[in-house]
Chain A
Amino acid sequence: MNEHNKHNKKAVIANPLVVLREEFDDGAILFDPETGNTFGVNPIGVLVWKHLDGRHSLDDIAEIVRVKAEAVPSDVISHIGNFVQAAIDLGLAGYEVKS
């Protein structure tokens, strides 16, 4: 198993402080009350975000997106990976630390 595939098997968990505001049918924002920063999210991003629960890997989430969304590109896993990595970099999500 290469590094990329290993990464896709790991489950990511959303920062529980971060608020998902689904403001409109076609748009939402992530609000980090610690910093006051907001980030726009499209409906696919919302779907991904809702599955950052520490139980779904990126592969799992990609499969869910393929089932629930229309016209999903073949490289959706890489788009999801970029989204999740951006969320991790911004402190909006992270890998669960086993105690």
Chain B
Amino acid sequence: MQVMKTPRNVDIAITSFCNLHCTYCSHFSGPGDVKEDLPLETWLQFITELGHSNTMKIILSGGEPFSRPDLREIILAIVANRMRFTILSNGTLIDNEIAAFLAATRRCDLVQVSIDGAIDTTHDAFRGKGNFMKAIDGIRALQGNHLPVSVRVTIHRKNVHELEAIARYLLEDLELQSFSTNSASHMGLCRKNAAQTQLTIDEHSLAMETLLALTDKYKGRINASAGPLAEAQSWLEMEDSRRENRERPAGRGFLTGCSGPMQTIAVRADGVIVPCSQLCHLSLGRINEDDLGEIWRGHPVLQSMRKRSRISLENFPFCQDCPYTSYCTGNCPAIAYSLTGKINHPSPDACLRQFLAQGGRLPEVTQI
């Protein structure tokens, strides 16, 4: 596969600071959790370089991007350098004034706000008291300024029984166009709070069943690229394929679970360039010191990651005798690394065979 001359998208953690400290946060306690943020001038210089390399979109994350007092200057630099932006936020620091500013730029693709409950006690259980209402106020400010806004629901042990109410609240009461889901996964703070936050096998099964039914009810409005919903959709397809002994589909049977390094690169809050915000330990260089285009095209780590898709799952003892090997992608390399210490390994976290062996059940699609 050909590699683009420069990345289309760049994920930038513009700050390591966050006003919240969520129990399952993937940022804190990981290698991206750096102690000092970079000054504005350093980011402006880098954004100019991105403009010259014809990057199209910057995804601003953190930490909490709205905690930076100079966020407006960063966004104005993105606009001046002919790019668009998306912001990933906890929503609690968004008010009408900043929302109006974002709208006026006409370059905002999306503000994604994290909401984990239909009521404050559920959301605040792991995010801190009072933050549900602040985040909802933030969403309303964005909506009031006609900005594209979406919600990410992280499914965990305290909201897994509330998924129907969450969908109803987000899609009917708040009238959001859509929301996405994932689940608390084995990264950052979640590693030490796993028992408290990560779904048990039974809860995982319940989440899959409920979410699948909700996607039927709210057609096209609930999506996921990881977590129980994505797994339910993928695993049902894999099970059908196994039962009918289908041919191996293109792109299956190899480590094809991530195409990120073909389009996107990331930068930590301290300016270290990494392949992905979830693989922050893999330093590729430093902004304004190393040439981004050279790193993108030639860094051995990126080149190696781009070749993952040539590694057959049959090579792994982990996959031996698995009836799903021909239909599997090996899933997320970052979670694979977090659990096994290896990037070039299938992720045990999203392994259908292991899920079933532990007593998990595939959903029977029901209507709500």
Contacts and interface: CB of A to CB of B under 8 A. Distances in A.
A22 to B, nearest CB: 6
B84 A33 contact: yes
B248 to A, nearest CB: 28
Interface stretch (A13-21, A43-51, A70-78, A80-88): A13-21
Interface string B1-30: 010111010000000000000000000000
B56 A19 contact: yes
A22 B56 contact: no
Contacts of B134: none
Nearest to B108: A36
Contact of A31 (B2, B4, B56, B109): B56
Q: Is the interface of A mostly helix, strand, loop or mixed?
A: strand
B182 interface: no
A20 B82 CA distance: 11
B4 A24 contact: yes
Interface residues of B, number: 14
Contacts of A3: none
B54 A20 contact: yes
A3 to B, nearest CB: 35
B313 interface: no
Contacts of B82: 17, 19, 31, 33
Contact of A24 (B5, B8, B83): B5
A56 to B, nearest CB: 22
Nearest to B79: A33
Nearest to A20: B54
A23 interface: yes
A23 to B, nearest CB: 4
B281 interface: no
B203 to A, nearest CB: 38
A33 B4 CA distance: 19
A34 interface: yes
A33 B56 contact: yes
Contacts of B72: none
Nearest to B107: A33
Contacts of B2: 24
Contacts of A24: 2, 4-5
Given A19-B54, A31-B82, A33-B79, 11 more contacts: A19-B56, A19-B82, A21-B8, A22-B5, A22-B54, A23-B6, A24-B2, A31-B54, A33-B82, A33-B107, A36-B84
Interface of A: 17, 19-24, 31, 33-34, 36, 38
11 contacts: A19-B54, A21-B4, A21-B6, A22-B5, A24-B4, A31-B82, A33-B56, A33-B79, A33-B82, A33-B84, A36-B84
